[in-house]
Amino acid sequence: MKKNYIIASILFLIILVIYAWIIKGTSSFNLKIAATILFPTFITFILNYLWRKKDNTRL
């Protein structure tokens, strides 16, 4: 159980760093929009993964 949280938090940090790097590094407006849309999607995916592991049922 604890291992899943560690994996998810590492993934979250990696995604956060990539997101900040994209926002800071690019002047491309389309890429910023794509990152802004994808970032919450990744967060909800990770939270959903953790919730399914904890609950042990499929949604």
Full-model pTM: 0.47
pLDDT tens profile 8-34: 778 888 888 887 777 777 777 777 777
**35 Rama class: left (phi>0) / alpha (psi -120 to 50) / beta:** alpha
- Share above pLDDT 70 across residues of the chain, in percent, rounded to a whole number: 83
Give the integer Cα–Cα distance in Å for 59 and 41. 17
